[in-house]
Amino acid sequence: MKKMIPFLRSAGIRRLGRGGAEAPRGLKPALHGPAASRALVWVGVFLVMGALAWTQTRSDIKLILKGGTVRKIALPDFRAAGGAAPLAAVFNQTVFDDIQRSGLLEPAAKSFYPLNPPQQESDLRATPEPRPARRGAAPETPNCGGLCLSDWANPPVEAAYLGFGYLAEQAGQLVAFGHLYTTSVPDVASAKAFRKLYNAPMTEEGARRLAHEYAADILKQFGGQSLAGSKIYFVSDRGGASGTKELWVMDFDGQDQRQLTKFNSVSTMPAVSPDHNRLAFTTFAKGQPQIMVMSLETFRYLPFMNPQASLNATPSFTPDGSRMLFSSTLDGRYTQIYVANADGTGVQRLSNSRAIEMEPKVNPKTGQDVLFVSGRGGGQHIYRMNLDGAGVERITDGTGEAANPAWHPDGQIIAFKWTRGFAPGNWNLFIMDVASRETAQLTHGAGRNENPSWAPDGRHLVFSSNRSGRYQIYSMLPDGTELRQLTHTGNNTMPVWVK
């Protein structure tokens, strides 16, 4: 129990004694005794702790998620003049970053690019025939200084595709003319994949929007889904009084970070409805941990009837958004899994054990399989059951401790955290094929990593980690590559990635 005290403090719970845990500052606990102690200890654990790992890793799962061979693309900078010139750097960097983080294409290093890249279609030239070889030498490779597609297909660039264009100002708007060509096709007209015109306000935000749209059109050619427009909801302690935590939201790339709740309390464990119109979360704002629901259209709070219990927490919506699963001490003893209508009415109990059970997550594809975390076998582990509470089975192997299950959009693979693996003593992220139980480790020896959440494209993960000293939010591909830090201020945890 002594080991849990630092985690309870970081969750906003200051003291653990005979009478239970003390509530966050400025709040008085509404329950006492053993039930209060058990409930609030687990809330503290789920607010900050994590569990992860195993002793084997399988690369086949990661390959399935990431896809096949990554093809190389050249992305010379768009040039600009006049009012568009100051926005070119933001546009070019955003395009490059979007393509690079996609995992579908590998941007060729710009240091190898020809000095005279094309800006519009009329700049392209047909590839000339190779010059006759001198006696004893290989034929000379034609070179147009960057204006032939072969200049980009041949060494040193060796790109299979070329994206190019330019920026301009038209009628007070920022416009981008974007092109994509296949470099291996000799005929210029046949090599064209697309040419599009984009426009937005003459601002940095407008430049980023154009860049996201252009990058999205490139990725569509390869069956990829752009993450532009998706949001990440998370918990942060920045900007508030000591011990407080509020809910925030940001763009997929870390831009436009905004605070949503202002309770000056502890609000955690966000969950977003499938229609992206409602945000459910756990808060201590009313003294004891309860569930609240916010409209993401009006940002007003919606009715939710919390059961008369000392703890209601870890909300999660069903795929159709009509019901909500959550954990509660409604029976007066152990935290169990319940399901109710979206407004909290019609409560039904799903789990029934003499152990603490939390974090229910419904399979987004079947709408029937429920993952949850339970201590019924001793340490906390991940279990599966039907939506009616039947068919309970443990899916982690019983070693160490595991928590934070997150369904992949395909409903077949999960991400989670585990306390064992190739980095003993730390918490690492894993993925698992639920049917075969095959696992792969994603993080290794870099602090404590937890709260994984899948991106809408199913090719990226977001998670929290203290690898930099404080808890920050990172994104990466499901093989652990393309790691990017998205937050830098305060401590930031529990990210949820939605469209």
Secondary structure (DSSP) of 67-84: -SPPEEEE-PPPB--GGG
pLDDT tens column, 390-446: 999 999 999 989 999 999 999 999 999 998 765 666 899 999 999 999 999 999 889
**The pLDDT of residue 426:** 80
Handedness of CA 79, 222, 319, 443 (dihedral sign): negative
pLDDT tens column, 68-106: 678 999 999 999 999 999 999 999 999 999 999 998 999
**The pLDDT of residue 268:** 97
For the record, the structure tokens of 62 come out as 């990661």
Burial class from Cβ neighbours inside 10 Å (0-12, 13-18, 19+) for residue 64 reads: middle
**The pLDDT of residue 51:** 31
Is 199 in contact with 175 (CB distance < 8 Å)?
yes
For the record, the structure tokens of 489 come out as 């201020």
Give the least confident one: 32-36, 135-139, 175-179: 32-36
416: Cα separation from own chain's centroid: 13
> Average model confidence (pLDDT) for the chain?
87
With a cut of 70, say whether residue 348 has pLDDT above it.
yes
- In DSSP notation, 222-284 reads TT----TT-EEEEEE-TTSSTT-BEEEEEETTS-S-EE----SSBEEEEEE-TTS-EEEEEE-
Q: In this structure, what are the phi and psi dihedrals at residue 247, rounded to the nearest 5 degrees?
A: -90, 140
In this prediction, what percent of the chain has a pLDDT beyond 90?
A: 75
Q: Which residues of 102-132 are buried (b: 16+ CB within 10 A; e: fewer)?
A: bbbbbbbeeeebbeebbbeeeebbebeeeee
Confidence of residue 189 (pLDDT cuts 50, 70, 90): very high
Q: What Cα–Cα distance (Å) separates residue 421 from each residue in 3, 15, 48, 279, 434?
A: 21, 32, 20, 34, 18
**The pLDDT of residue 34:** 47
Query: Quick one: average pLDDT of 297-326?
Result: 97
pLDDT tens column, 287-304: 999 999 999 999 999 999
More reliable by pLDDT, 313 or 69: 313
Domains and CATH numbers, the chain: 68-132+141-220 (3.40.50.10070), 229-498 (2.120.10.30)
With a cut of 50, say whether residue 455 has pLDDT above it.
yes
The total of other beta-carbon atoms located within 10 Å of residue 403's CB is 27
**The pLDDT of residue 156:** 94
Query: Quick one: average pLDDT of 163-174?
Result: 97
**The pLDDT of residue 239:** 84
**The pLDDT of residue 127:** 85
Peptide bond into 156 cis (omega under 30): yes
Query: Quick one: average pLDDT of 352-362?
Result: 96
